[in-house]
Amino acid sequence: MNGFLLILKNDWLRLTRGRALKILAGMALLSGLYALLYGQTYVRRQRATIAELKRDEQARLDSLATWARLDTSVAANRTADRREKWAKATSAYEVNVPEGYRFAVHDPSALTPLSLGMRDLFPYYQDVWGRAIFRQVFQQEISNPQKLSVGHFDWAFVVIFLLPLLLIALSYNLLSAENELGTYALLRSQPVTIQQIVGAKLALRLLLVVGFLVVITGLAVPVLGIDLAEDGGLLARFLLVSVVYSLFWGAVIFAVVSFEKTSAFNALTLLGCWLVLVVALPTLLQQLLTISQPIDRTTFENLVRDEYGQEQPDSVVLKPYYARHPAYYFPKDTAKRDPDLRVYYARNEQVDLTLAPLVDQYEAAVTAREATVSRWNGLLPAVNALELFNGLAGTSAAAHRDYIRQVRNFHGRWNGFFLPKVFKNELLTPADYARFPAWRFQSTAPDFSIGAGLLKLLLLTGLVFGLGWWRLGRG
């Protein structure tokens, strides 16, 4: 045991006295801090936009509510301008569509700055009007394509791409250096096994890496303003995934070192492993997916084409509409309306019904692609880890699809409130304003399960570590 501790102590002294650890630690800390600040800046900008949207919505609805309360029996309020404003504020259509539209916001979670995921590729807010929902979703937020192509320098990037390199740089020569310095024989004369020597040295380096993970994750709490009482569990799971991912790379290093080759061989082989697992295989799979599971959105043109394209007469559109919504049909109400907005809603619903199979087909194709990735991610630890990070941060493509599902539901509720009034030709009352459906975003992050992904990562880690153990034992 004393010999074992002596090896550890000697190794620690060698590490701390050399320049490599200081340089690497400095670089790692710098990258970690930059990643935190980048994530914070990115999300802060999105939050500022969200606040602006909320102010806009509040101001519009407050103004409408004020005009809806206008006492039109007072002569002074009967001016053309005032009557027009009152008419707008009490019109179910005006509030439902052009004046009172709402913003459905995909609020960032506390952990979003740590793993920005697909948040730049998809919009994080959507204005919801009463018209066809499929003409509203599938928007894009303004982004620089060059920036989109290189992705984020967030904490997830540091952990997935750079951390393995840090660990490799610290450990590639942990056994070969003994050989090259001529101390190997001395080391082997100690009453400890070769597995224990390599294991101890690797454990020391892993401890340093885990320490780094804990420090940056800890710093994230004050920097990003994470409320531990509310999101502590999520943050702990995030840290757990990063630790297990580091353990996987520890196992890879253990396996490569077990071949007892030169430092140059180890460095090249380990970089090769990194290249294959973090770069080559994911990019290759991405390329193969686009060929084997193609998605064609050129057929989506009708999603953006204006409803002016509908040439059918009103009666042809209204008949099936009333068959679907008998509660909106009032045959005795034959009074002429100007404008008659009933057909507007019937046409918009027809648009949605026409487009729904196309959208469903598209969503099924994307889900199928994701299922393929999930099937393979057991062999792709970097992809697996990023999926887990994005899932915990609520920034995955699946989280976006869930958000769009919520937007569609909200659109249904929003229209469900106003349409009966439009068809009954009823005016909105000031009391109605308090009953308007409000948007409430439900994040998928808190319920995201990391169990299966983590198990795959642990299994692979165990397998690779076992290979190293076996190799060293043989030697």
Partner 1 sequence: MIRRLIAQNEFTQTRRDRRFVVAGGVVLLLLLVATWTGFRNYQSLADKRAQANQTARAAWLGQPEKNPHSAAHYGTFAFRPKSDLSFLDFGLDTYTGVSVYLEGHRQNDAKFSAAEDATVLIRFGEMTVAFVLQLLIPLLIIFLCFSTFTREREENTLKLVLSQGVSVADLYWGKVRGMSQLVALVVGPALLLAGGLLFAQTGFSATADTLLRLGLFVLIYALYFFLFIAGSVFVSARSESSRSSLLTLLSIWIVACVVLPKATANLGESLFSVPSNYAFKRLIHEDEEKGIDGHNPSNARAKELEKKVLAQYGVDSVSQLPVNFDGIVMQEGEKYTSMVYQKHFRALQEQFQRQNSLATVVGFVNPYLAVRNLSMGLSGSDYAHFLDFKGKAEQYRFGLVERLNNQMKTFSKTGDWEKKVSREFWAKTPDFAYQLPSVGWALRQHALSGLALLLFGGVLLWGIGRSLSNSTLLPAA
Return the residues of window 9-68 that contact partner 1 according to CB under 8 A. Answer: 31, 34, 38, 41, 45, 49, 52-53, 56
Instruction: Give the distance from CA 92 to its chain's centroid.
Output: 36
> Contact between 313 and partner 1 (CB under 8 A)?
no
Q: Residue 48 CB, nearest distance to partner 1 (Å)?
A: 9
Q: Residue 209 CB, nearest distance to partner 1 (Å)?
A: 17
- Among 96, 242, 396, 443, interactor with partner 1 by CB under 8 A: 396
Which lies closer to partner 1 via its Cβ, residue 140 or residue 189? 140
Which lies closer to partner 1 via its Cβ, residue 71 or residue 81? 81
Number of residues that bind partner 1 (CB under 8 A): 86
Q: Residue 31 CB, nearest distance to partner 1 (Å)?
A: 8
Which lies closer to partner 1 via its Cβ, residue 117 or residue 130? 117
Q: Residue 217 CB, nearest distance to partner 1 (Å)?
A: 21
- Among 210, 240, 267, 467, interactor with partner 1 by CB under 8 A: 267
- Among 100, 108, 113, 123, interactor with partner 1 by CB under 8 A: 123
Three-class DSSP labels, the chain: CHHHHHHHHHHHHHHHHCHHHHHHHHHHHHHHHHHHHHHHHHHHHHHHHHHHHHHHHHHHHHHHHHHHCCCCCCHHHHCHHHHHHHHHHHCHHHHHCCCCCEEEECCCCCCHHHCCCCCCCCCCEEEECCCCHHHCCCCCCCCCHHHHHHCCCCHHHHHHHHHHHHHHHHHCCCCHHHHHHCCHHHHHCCCCCHHHHHHHHHHHHHHHHHHHHHHHHHHHHHHHCCCHHHHHHHHHHHHHHHHHHHHHHHHHHHHHHCCCCCHHHHHHHHHHHHHHHHHHHHHHHHHHHHHHCCCCCHHHHHHHCCHHHCCCCHHHHHHHHHHHCHHHCCCCCCCCCCCCCHHHHHHHHHHHHHHHHHHHHHHHHHHHHHHHHHHHCCCCHHHHHHHHHHHHHCCCHHHHHHHHHHHHHHHHHHHHHHHHHHHHCCCCCHHHHHHCCCCCCCCCHHHCCCHHHHHHHHHHHHHHHHHHHHHHHHC
Which lies closer to partner 1 via its Cβ, residue 64 or residue 270? 270
Q: Residue 318 CB, nearest distance to partner 1 (Å)?
A: 20
- Name which of 20, 30, 281 is nearest 153 in CA terms: 30
> Contact between 119 and partner 1 (CB under 8 A)?
no
> Contact between 326 and partner 1 (CB under 8 A)?
no
- Sketch the per residue contact string, 99 through 118, with partner 1: x for CB under 8 A, - otherwise: ------------------xx
What's the residue count for the chain?
475
- Among 1, 189, 229, 296, interactor with partner 1 by CB under 8 A: 296
For residues 141-160, which are near partner 1 according to CB under 8 A? 141-153, 157
> Contact between 240 and partner 1 (CB under 8 A)?
no
- Among 282, 381, 453, 468, interactor with partner 1 by CB under 8 A: 282
> Contact between 298 and partner 1 (CB under 8 A)?
yes
For residues 155-214, which are near partner 1 according to CB under 8 A? 157, 161-162, 165, 169, 173, 180
- Pick the piece of the chain touching partner 1 (CB under 8 A) from 223-231, 284-292, 402-410, 459-467: 284-292
Q: Residue 39 CB, nearest distance to partner 1 (Å)?
A: 10
- Among 190, 195, 263, 409, interactor with partner 1 by CB under 8 A: 263
Query: In angstroms, rounded to a whole number, what is the distance separating the alpha carbons of residues 432 and 414?
Result: 13
Angle at 340 between CA 335 and CA 344, to 5 degrees: 145
Which lies closer to partner 1 via its Cβ, residue 5 or residue 280? 280
For residues 334-373, which are near partner 1 according to CB under 8 A? 362, 365-366, 369-370, 373
- Among 6, 181, 279, 463, interactor with partner 1 by CB under 8 A: 279
- Among 54, 297, 319, 424, interactor with partner 1 by CB under 8 A: 297
> Contact between 305 and partner 1 (CB under 8 A)?
yes
